[in-house]
Amino acid sequence: MNTKFLSDKSLKEIIRNFTPNWFTLNMGTGIAFLTLHNINANIFDAQLLLGKSLWLIDIFFFVLFFTLLLARMFLYPETIMLMFKHPVQSMFLGAVPMALVPILEGFAIFGPSLFGNNSLNIALYLWWIDAFLAVCVGWLLPYLMFSIQKNHKLENMTAVWLLPIVASEVTASAGGMLAPYFANPIAEAILMVSYILWAFSVPLAFSVLVILFLRLVTHKLPDKAMAVTSWLTLGPLGTGALGLLLLGHAAEKVLIGTDLENIATFLSNFGLIAGLLLWGYGLWWYVMAWIITLKFFKDGLPFNMGWWGFTFPVGVFTAATLQLWQATGYDIFKYFSIVLSIQLAIFWILVFTKTLKGMWSGYLFHAPCLSPETGLPKPEEECKKFSKKNK
């Protein structure tokens, strides 16, 4: 076991090895406090306080990670191209806009009681920024996969491919939550853009799921270090269902009195039916993820930041289940959402604890794209090329 403490690790070394997969901590923590809020049971007085506390903790880590990422870009710009070229590490750039979504939703949910009504404007500004980042990532990463990235073979493919694609639909679901807080024309603009973002993401995610199924059939299960990626399949399906449900509900409020008022009921009904279908598709992958995980548990799963895949996908699937319960009144969704919430809580506590230990020891600060064992050009060679170009 690595006994070297973070205090003994150079700050420059931490910055140079900082990777965007740290933002998955924000995704997991964010969906944890949103789920705590969404159960809306008010069972105990500390529920609201705990939700706010987790939100503030999430903001702290997001600011810290974003600062470290910017520091790496400015202090070690030669390593950024290495990250872009890495076939796995680059995918986690999609985690950046997804990590921001729970934070901006927190400004709408918890912000008014702490910062006043200006918190809603902050949430709105952050949403537009997030939409821009999600679209950029959704275009940039596939292009890099098409052009400069190597080692993309069917046998190497995992559900990590979904990360840059799913970011836009996560932003779309946030738009469905946020739109009713505002008056028109702002609310209508959020609603329309959110539907576009949903379409920007979900159909492409379906394509990746089809390829993933083919890869699993032809090349069997991935290495145990990538076993947790099986849970990522819940991301586009859970978020896709959640997005349509929230947008349909928002449409009934936002489109009243507009030229599109006559389709408000249709969008609500469509959100329910399509959301239910996507949820059913997600249920298949949920059971399969459990089967795959239990198989690998026998062999032992090495801890890495990929373990945060246990949290966010389950969280959005839980949120979609809660929305289906509210829309249908069927108790089966209520009871299943409770089971999912308990699972999410257990996973979050386990992964958060292990992450803090790994952060303190320093061993989690390791950038695979800077390792000579990646199969990519050696980092020192790339750095020399960068230096020559910028002399």
- pLDDT for position 39: 83
More confident residue, 34 or 301: 34
Number of other residues whose CB lies within 10 A of the CB of residue 218: 9
Radius of gyration of the chain (CA): 21
**Stretch among 40-49, 295-304, 305-314, 363-372 having the lowest mean pLDDT:** 363-372
pLDDT at 376 exceeding the cut of 50: no
Q: What is the dihedral of CA 95, 99, 100, 106, to 10 degrees?
A: 160
- pLDDT of 7 > 80? The answer is no
Q: What is the mean pLDDT of residues 355-384?
A: 58
Could you tell me which residue, 122 or 9, shows the higher pLDDT?
Answer: 122
pLDDT of 380 above 50: no
User: For position 305, what pLDDT does the model report?
Assistant: 83
Instruction: Using pLDDT thresholds of 50, 70 and 90, give the confidence band for residue 85.
Output: very high
Does residue 1 sit within a domain? Answer: no
Q: How confident is the model at residue 324 (pLDDT cuts 50, 70, 90)?
A: very high
Assign 359 to helix, strand or coil.
helix
Asked whether the beta carbons of 284 and 290 are under 8 A apart, the reply is no
Alpha-carbon distance 65 to 80, whole Å?
A: 15
d(CA 116, CA 120): 8
The reported pLDDT for the residue numbered 9 is: 62
Please report, to the nearest 10 degrees, the dihedral formed by the alpha carbons of residues 202, 185, 320, 172 taken in order: 30
* Domains identified in the chain, total number: 1
Cα separation of 34 and 30, whole Å? 6
Q: What is the pLDDT of residue 276?
A: 97
Q: For residue 122, is it within any domain?
A: yes
pLDDT at 142 over 60: yes
Asked whether the beta carbons of 201 and 166 are under 8 A apart, the reply is yes
What confidence score (pLDDT) does residue 386 get? 40
d(Cα 205, Cα 166) in Å, to the nearest integer?
Answer: 7
pLDDT digits (tens, 9 = 90+) for 216-270: 999 988 887 778 889 999 999 999 999 999 999 999 999 998 889 999 999 999 9
Q: Given this model, what pLDDT does residue 141 score?
A: 96
- Quick check: 385 pLDDT over 90? no
pLDDT category of residue 368 using cuts at 50, 70 and 90: low
Q: Which of 36-45, 64-73, 202-211, 289-298 has the lowest average pLDDT?
A: 36-45
Percent of the chain with pLDDT over 90: 68
The overall average pLDDT reported for the chain is 87
Does residue 170 form part of some domain? Answer: yes
Identify the CATH number of the domain in which residue 16 sits. 1.50.10.150
- Provide the pLDDT for residue 359: 76
Range of the domain at 335: 6-389
Task: Give yes or no for residue 298 having a pLDDT over 90.
Answer: no
pLDDT band for 48, please (50, 70, 90 cuts): confident
Average pLDDT over every residue of 110-130: 92
pTM: 0.89
Cα 284 from Cα 337, distance rounded (Å):
16
Kind plus residue range of the DSSP H or E element containing 371: none
CB 289 within 8 A of CB 229: no
